[in-house]
Amino acid sequence: MPTSVKPPIAPDVAEVIGDCAENVENRSLLLDKFILHKSWPSVSSTHQRMRMDDASRWSFIRMTQNGERFLEHEKKVHESKRDRAKDDGNRDKVEEHQACVDILQCLSKCACRKLPGNLAAQKLEQNRKFAQALSKRPGETAVVYGELQGRLIVNLSDSLIQNAGICLDRNTGLPYIPGSAVKGVARHAALSHLRDGGWTIGEFMHVFGSSEADFRDKGELSGFVTSVPEKERTLKGGVDFLSAQPITEPTIVVDISNVHYPKYYQSGDVHDLANENPKPNTFPVVEKGVRYAFCIVENGKTVDGKLFEKAKSVLIEAITVSGVGAKTGAGYGWFKDVTEIMEAEVKREAEAAEAQRAEAEAKAKREAELVAIEAEARRRAELSPFERILESWNNQPNLKAIVKGRYIAQFVSCSDDEKKGIVEVLRMPDGIGARVWAVLKGTSPEDSKKKFWNRTVEQAIRAYCRNTLKLGKMP
């Protein structure tokens, strides 16, 4: 930016965040700390302070996803005004409009339009999991999922579009609906049922609470002043209405409201209607299509399950019939109840996650079994024939399984290493080898009927021990 433009930001701060905070990635931080002031230091050769009425409006526009297009348009408008002032020889106006061009150029490059990394996705997933956790305690908690059918305006100051703001999460900059706004629209819906007899005054007070002021003249509960004793008119509500958080990615865009007859609105003179001069006001809104989770929580055991369900029903009615936020009469802030759809999606996601978890566990088990088999194969390959045969016999259930097994029944066809190992095991003074040899030679008390005595195998083992291994006689 030209050195003549001096935004009201400390130089050391501007060095980090940019002259117009264009390097700040957090929308909430921009909204809370870096709304551009309308009064700027001197930017002209006459050293007069510059009044920039559009600065705060530009601050909101820069935070929206389509804000760059609007800022580029306004930059072109000031470039045109600058050129006309140049032709007129008005140096001060030239410098002022050039300052606006430079500022708009900075704002159009604002870094907050897309959150860094996957911060937004993590926050949305956290919101979904929080809502799912609350929905598991029926009678104490309830979750209503709403899909925005029209653009949403929240945090409108003094009911003026010119003062439009937006509620943003402090860390991620995602737009949310304050719990006070959610409770307000639900309370309004309950009031209509209270007046037509659908709710009792006791039910209303136990859900939403009340104060002495509600029962005074022109108070919302003034018609029930005779029904509630004075000492009982102040009551804490038994249901908390939490802030509604987005569970799908929201988009913040610029919306426009046109004031078609500004002179007529100020004067009331019908003749001014002939001089229409629309003045567009831009303000930030949440684009339709995003889904929000509206959560309510029973907070003091003063609301039974039946009354809690009535509180949930008026919440659904409020967001689907009355709408949330400003300009609901013009179609803004209306939601469609998609609770059943979301619950079905959550169920499918849970089933898919469970199937994926089971598949992962089965895969891990198969891989572990293969690893164990390979490790066992390597271990057995490293054993000597003596160690392998001894281990095999110790793992057999009984002597019959051993003498009918390969190493004994098929001794003649075994390899020389295996025959050597068999003989070494059978020559052991005690243990499984000694017991098997006693069976083979017919002297085992465990085989008194000599059912397993195998004279052929016995002679073959004796001959191999004496003639091939040169170990002398078998025991």
Domains held by the chain: number: 3
Closest to 248 (Cα-Cα) out of 381, 178, 132, 146 = 146
Please provide the DSSP assignment of 94-126 as one string.
Answer: HHHHHHHHHHHHHHTT-GGGS-STTHHHHHHHH
The whole-angstrom separation of Cα 177 and Cα 327 is 15
pTM: 0.72
The pLDDT of residue 302 is: 79
Q: Is the dihedral of CA 183, 284, 62, 158 positive or negative?
A: negative
The whole-angstrom separation of Cα 270 and Cα 274 is 8
Same domain, 312 and 396: no
Choose the weakest-confidence range: 209-223, 271-285, 397-411, 426-440.
Answer: 271-285
Structural domain for 428, as ranges:
385-468
Question: What does residue 354 show for φ and ψ, rounded to 5 degrees?
Answer: -65, -45
Is residue 473 domain-resident? no
Whose structure tokens read 């995602």?
A: 174
Which tokens go with 364? 């891990």
% residues pLDDT > 90 (the chain)? 44
Q: Sorting pLDDT into bands at 50, 70 and 90, what band is 165? A: low
Q: Sorting pLDDT into bands at 50, 70 and 90, what band is 142? A: very high
Q: With contact defined as beta carbons under 8 Å apart, do 121 and 75 qualify?
A: no
The secondary element (H helix, E strand) that includes residue 146 is strand 141-148
- The one-letter amino acid at 89: G
Which tokens go with 279? 């003045």
Same domain, 172 and 273: yes
Is residue 93 domain-resident? yes
State the average pLDDT over residues 20-35. 82
The pLDDT of residue 171 is: 84
Same domain, 124 and 109: no
Is residue 154 domain-resident? yes
Same domain, 33 and 69: yes
Is residue 358 domain-resident? no
Is residue 19 domain-resident? yes
The pLDDT of residue 49 is: 63
Distance of CA 284 to the CA centre of its chain: 24
